């Protein structure tokens, strides 16, 4: 609880600092909305031409896209500073974190708060809300609860992979290409039903790179398309749990890798 209070205090200070340049903040948020809008427009153009992708119509693809994007924005808002782990380690900024009575990871995450991620989060939430009204989902209280858990679980899945990749910086120093590759896989493959990529790719994007747990598996459950799954149905229902387990494993991996930290100049 103390760590949570400290995080909220530091995040609040970073939040206020971002509002010193309101114009720049507004433009960055719009930029995030525009970038994601271009991706959705491309999918709409494909569906307008071919009607369906892998048997999924526009409302179902939009639901999948909105679920993936909302989870992405939810992890990116508090976790964006992991992008800068290379410079924090190489320039020795991490030294300062070690002599303060606060978790180094908390200090890293709150060094700045990039509110431009609100563009991704807001865009995903709006798209998910609009798609939910048109997608063939039986919106019982249980389905609504599962959707909320799926969004949080998806955020934890993506965040766990980025945290694990960031931890490698203590050994490799530069991990930006790895983190960029992870982000591109989520962006390029996460918005489509995995069945269109074939059996081997679907297996890899489920059990090797757990992309399916972010949006595809929860979406198939909510859209009542479990019959197309090549994995047990319980994996779809258990997708939010996968996020918790992966984040725990990533945090333990982070702690282990920090022991290899060498101060700048050594």
CA–CA separation, 206 vs 15, rounded Å?
Answer: 35
Any domain includes 87: yes
pLDDT at 31 over 90: no
Mean per-residue pLDDT of the chain: 87
Any domain includes 120: yes
- Which residues does residue 56 pair with via DSSP β-bridges, in sequence order? 53
| Domain of 220, in residue numbers | 2-258
Coil, strand, or helix at residue 43?
Answer: helix
Q: Which residue has the higher pLDDT, 201 or 16?
A: 201
128: CB partners within 8 A, 6+ apart: 63, 66, 67, 69, 70, 151
Any domain includes 245: yes
pLDDT-derived band of residue 94, with 50, 70 and 90 as boundaries? very high
Any domain includes 265: no
Q: pLDDT of 106-149, one tens digit each?
A: 999 998 877 777 778 888 888 888 888 888 888 999 999 999 99
* pLDDT > 70 fraction of the chain, expressed in percent and rounded: 88
- The count of C-alpha atoms lying within 13 angstroms of the C-alpha of 188, restricted to the half-sphere facing its C-beta, is 8
CA–CA separation, 150 vs 69, rounded Å?
Answer: 12
CA–CA separation, 57 vs 47, rounded Å?
Answer: 7
CA 115-152-138 angle, to 5 degrees, is 120
Q: pLDDT of 227-248, one tens digit each?
A: 888 788 899 899 999 999 999 9
Among 51-55, 105-109, 141-145, 170-174, whose mean pLDDT is lowest?
Answer: 51-55
Any domain includes 233: yes
Cβ atoms within 10 Å of 232's Cβ, excluding its own: 10
Any domain includes 263: no
Any domain includes 57: yes
What pLDDT score does 24 carry?
Answer: 66
What pLDDT score does 43 carry?
Answer: 67
Any domain includes 264: no
Question: Are 82 and 109 contacting, i.e. CB atoms less than 8 angstroms apart?
Answer: yes
213: CB partners within 8 A, 6+ apart: 153, 154, 157, 206, 235, 239, 242, 243
Average pLDDT over residues 150-171: 96
Total tally of structural domains belonging to the chain: 1
CA–CA separation, 74 vs 127, rounded Å?
Answer: 14
């Amino acid at each position: 609880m103390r760590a949570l209070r400290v995080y909220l205090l530091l995040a609040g200070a970073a939040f206020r600092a971002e509002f010193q340049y309101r114009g720049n903040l507004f433009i960055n948020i719009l930029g995030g909305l525009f970038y994601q809008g271009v991706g959705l427009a491309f999918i709409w153009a494909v569906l307008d031409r071919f009607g369906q992708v892998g048997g999924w119509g526009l409302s179902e693809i939009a639901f999948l896209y909105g679920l993936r994007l909302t989870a992405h924005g939810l992890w990116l808002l508090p976790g964006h500073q992991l992008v800068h782990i290379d410079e924090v380690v190489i320039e020795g900024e991490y030294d300062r974190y070690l002599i303060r009575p606060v978790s180094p990871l908390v200090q890293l995450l709150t060094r700045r708060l990039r509110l431009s991620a609100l563009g991704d989060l807001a865009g995903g939430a709006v798209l998910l809300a609009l798609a939910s009204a048109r997608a063939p989902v039986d919106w019982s209280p249980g389905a609504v609860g599962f959707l909320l858990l799926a969004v949080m679980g998806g955020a934890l899945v993506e965040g766990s992979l980025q945290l694990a990749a960031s931890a490698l910086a203590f050994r490799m120093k530069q991990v930006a290409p790895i983190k960029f590759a992870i982000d591109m896989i989520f962006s390029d493959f996460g918005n489509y039903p995995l069945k269109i990529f074939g059996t081997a790719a679907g297996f890899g994007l489920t059990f090797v790179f757990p992309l399916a747990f972010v949006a595809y598996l929860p979406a198939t459950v909510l859209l009542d398309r479990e019959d197309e799954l090549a994995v047990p149905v319980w994996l779809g229902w258990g997708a939010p749990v996968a996020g918790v387990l992966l984040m725990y494993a990533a945090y333990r991996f982070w702690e282990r890798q920090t022991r290899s930290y060498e101060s700048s100049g050594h």
